Structure 1
């Protein structure tokens, strides 16, 4: 029989695996428009207490969010942002997304319609990436993000079936929330499988001890 301590370690490892690991060093490039607010704001954690998968983001402004220069809406072709996932390749589980927040003039610029693609060959080819859950609800993704509010907020979360060996993710923006010329959002963060932890090592030792006791 497993000890209470061993069971606790198993539970902790399982929870750690579900939480995932923030992918750092992400770099972004833009096609289909140019930037009015800096693109690197969406990957540098500038509106968060610290870079994370779940922090509360400050209200959108020039120092912590991205928005495009004047672009005609509705879009004739998607605006695309391609993200290199830090030290590649990565095993991708999902992402967190913070839309525009603040007054109506800002939230109307927020991303509405969107889809995702991934590459495993340094952006030479891309394949559609199908979300499996939205904000923790299986099958709830409809191809759109929720319009941001007037107050600070945490992210929306999008989960994928594990995709191994990913080098790049592309966000294709197809619509905003009604602003005639611009689109933007606050932050995006990508989730990978967590590193093996000290808890995992301790779990292995605990299970080894259980086996040893059975043999004595």
Structure 2
């Protein structure tokens, strides 16, 4: 009877061990969940920062990097021909003086930001483009010619303006200022990214 009584008294101790064991397991499980959550938090923070960088970079679709003040004189010459032969003294020259501020830059929607390391990003800049112009001034055309210049075809000022702003001339402005555009692009996007992630190292790649 004493032995039986001792066995009965062991039940509270066994129950206590079970409870303690379950509590430890629960604590371990909770710790594991917290560790996973902590890791997820850091990962989410990094992803969120990357997302903020991308959003900051692409928030403007067209980015003007340079403004050039352009002045010049466009020249148009014409004469009257008969059967492919120019009539003497029928030459006419038309001059159009102009000035405007050309805006050169890039399409911000095509700028790409890629992670290359824990604290480094690669920024790919698209080809430069002619974005537009401000403050255009086109003076009235001036004509000069020989006695029979009235026979020559008159210049059309709108055609002359279109020639001044032709794709060929726009590309010329870009080619002449390519290095300055690259430096401005680096400065512009470095400033934007530094405001979001100042510790990140940037590597720039220029397409085209």
Both structures adopt the same fold (TM-score exceeding 0.5)? no
Greater fraction of residues in helix? 2
Q: Which has the higher contact order (CA 8 A, sep 6+)?
A: 1
Under a length normalisation based on structure 2, what TM-score does the superposition of the two structures give? 0.30
